[in-house]
Amino acid sequence: MPGGEGLDERVAAVVQTAGLVRPVNRFFLTAGAVDEVTVANALAVARQWEAMTKAFMFTTISGLGAAARHFAAQKAPGREPLAAFQTAFRVIGDDLDNLADDFSAVAPRGAAGIHYLWWADSIVGPLAEAAGEEAARELPVDVAKLLEAMDSLADHRLGAAVQLRVVEATALDIAVAFRRMYGKVRVGGEKLFAGSDALVWIDAHIKAETSHAKSVSDEETGMTALVESEEDAEELVLLATDYAAHWAAALDDFADQICAG
């Protein structure tokens, strides 16, 4: 196998070292421990997440284009990398068109179901209305740097693999943290997101992300199968290390904002 056996384990260790796991990540811990989240703080995080999910989807799709151009230039692309390409296409396809049953059963139809728009309508919208005023839209430095890192991967043939492998390793924990956090937003003493359908975006992601994480980490058809050489393997690990660090910094910003005065 190009890159040697255990490449996925090396990337998993990168995610662990970056602190993108529930036992140690400050955002995950804070979201569970805080008693209440103000509308303003919840709105700030929600708008940043909207920008992050939008950039993640489009730059990952762009990364698939870079990989596709690489395959097109080869006379006979290997079947293992093509199988990994299929996996990547299916996983990011959920963000665009809700291919998985967990999403298609509950997502809005048409463009409204694109994940960052679905989030904007179901989470950002109610928060903005409850805030009663236009909140600042400027992104924190670390979130802005994460978006820049996404953009830098958009033209790299391993960019989609890096983004999907790192993000799907932590996406379930992020969704669980959001479930805890947004369930604690109150207006006039009442929960803003009350009722079974209020947090359906988050609940659908909690259900789907386990299968996503499993598919992108599979050693035969997961993201590391896009690697074609030892040099590719080392580059993928280096790119993942940098990318995971940007995610860790952005989630640290989330932790700070939850409790901001």
Any domain includes 2: no
Any domain includes 129: yes
Burial class (CB in 10 A: 0-12, 13-18, 19+), 23: exposed
d(CA 57, CA 46): 16
Single-letter amino acid code for the residue at 205? H
Residues 6+ apart with CB under 8 A from 137: 47
**Residue among 171, 246, 147, 179 nearest 37 (CA):** 179
pLDDT tens-digit readout, 64-87: 999 999 999 999 999 999 999 999
Phi first, then psi, for residue 191 (nearest 5°) are -65, 130
Q: How much of the chain, in percent, has pLDDT values that exceed 70?
A: 96
pLDDT of 2 strictly over 90: no
Number of domain units in the chain: 1
**Residue among 62, 4, 1, 53 nearest 237 (CA):** 4
Range of the domain at 56: 7-258
Any domain includes 41: yes
Q: Which of 51-60, 136-145, 155-164, 241-250 has the lowest mean pLDDT?
A: 136-145
pLDDT of 135 strictly over 70: no
d(CA 58, CA 95): 9
pLDDT tens-digit readout, 194-212: 987 899 999 999 999 999 9
In this prediction the pTM is 0.95
Q: What is the CATH number of the domain that holds 68?
A: 1.20.910.10
pLDDT band for position 1 (50/70/90)?
low
pLDDT tens-digit readout, 158-182: 999 999 999 999 999 999 999 999 9
Any domain includes 98: yes
Mean pLDDT along residues 136-150: 92
At 138 the pLDDT is: 84
The token pair at 80 is 């293992």
Q: How much of the chain, in percent, has pLDDT values that exceed 90?
A: 91
Any domain includes 1: no
